[in-house]
Amino acid sequence: MRICIFGAGAVGSHLAVRLALAGHDVCCVMRGRHLDAVKAKGLTLRVGDASFSARVKASDDPATLGTQDLVISTLKATGVASLASGLKPLLGEDTPVVFAQNGIPWWYDIGLPADHPPPPDLGFLDPGGGLRAAIPKARIIGGVIFSSNEVVAPGVVANLSPERNMLLVGACDDRQDVRIERLRATLNEASIASQPVAQIRETIWSKLLTNMSMSVLCLLTGQTARAVRDEPALRDVIPRLLDEANAIGQSCCPNVKRVTRSGPAPEHKPSILQDFELGRAMEIDALVRAPAAFARAAGLSTPMLDMLAGLAIQKARDKGCYQA
């Protein structure tokens, strides 16, 4: 398959190497020193003591890459709007687009199941409606990524979760068709686990429950997820916080698995904290503001999460990492 990774930073570069080594014709939309290094030497993926390299075509101009059979966007929510203008040259008649990002996606209300409660106004996730105008429902595939990666040098990515690398996918209207089955098979063959999911929004919420609570605590404390979980001063705070997060998720998807304090907690900093420390635009809207809007729409009282959201927004805004 001809596969384009659009926004190949840490996660996208990991996927690119895996897919290229599985025999696919992979290209990447990327920029900066990372792009320069990939053009000169290819992409390298480090997993523990092992190292894997692949030659991929790379450019900061999608128009130079040609029509693709599949596009996987690994852009963060803060950058996904660039797809509206850059995607068209990559699309063939039936090219699907996978949106592998954290938080509530811009397309959440497209293809919504009839039994799903009406969502709040999520227009702030797609200001001006550019994505909605450029990408029809038939092309949209939701993606939830479970993989910790870091660009350790231009052209070199380290995978920090060798036992847990998944990309779970599903059509925005949850239809199960040959296209989705083929995509899952492609990912599995490339050592990117992708088991079937019945409802992609349930999967989105299952990850978001942790991101909207524990990851925001990491941002506010500057600590890793494990350090936050094990911090004695937060022993009584975390369960109350998770209760509120679980209530929001279950108000939308009653079968979503509850997150508990005893769940897995990796010894690394979540992406929202990494972005803050590097002074990059932060996914506040998708990870914090959108869940708060769902809580209000459901009539839920979430004082702990409201306080965290306010502190996170102020902290990000003060550093110039968020504007709203």
Distance, CA of 47 to CA of 177 (rounded, Å): 33
Query: What's the Cα-to-Cα distance from 7 to each of 121, 163, 208, 276, 292, rounded to whole Å?
Result: 27, 24, 21, 19, 27
The DSSP string of 75-133 is --TTTGGGHHHHSGGGB-TT--EEEE-SSS-TTTTTT--TTSPPPPP-GGGSGGGHHHH
Q: Would you say 276 and 321 are in contact if contact means Cβ atoms under 8 Å apart? A: yes
Bridge partners of 78, per DSSP, are none
Catalytic one of 39, 41, 137, 207: 207
Query: Assign residue 260 a region: left if phi > 0, alpha if psi is -120 to 50, beta otherwise?
Result: beta
Residues in CB range of 149: below 8 A, 6 or more apart: 10, 11, 13, 14, 157, 158, 159, 160, 161
**Active-site annotation holds for 207:** yes
Q: Would you say 220 and 133 are in contact if contact means Cβ atoms under 8 Å apart? A: no
The angle that helices 303-318 and 271-278 make with each other, rounded to 10 degrees, is: 30
Name residue, tokens 């993926």.
45
* Residues with catalytic roles: 207
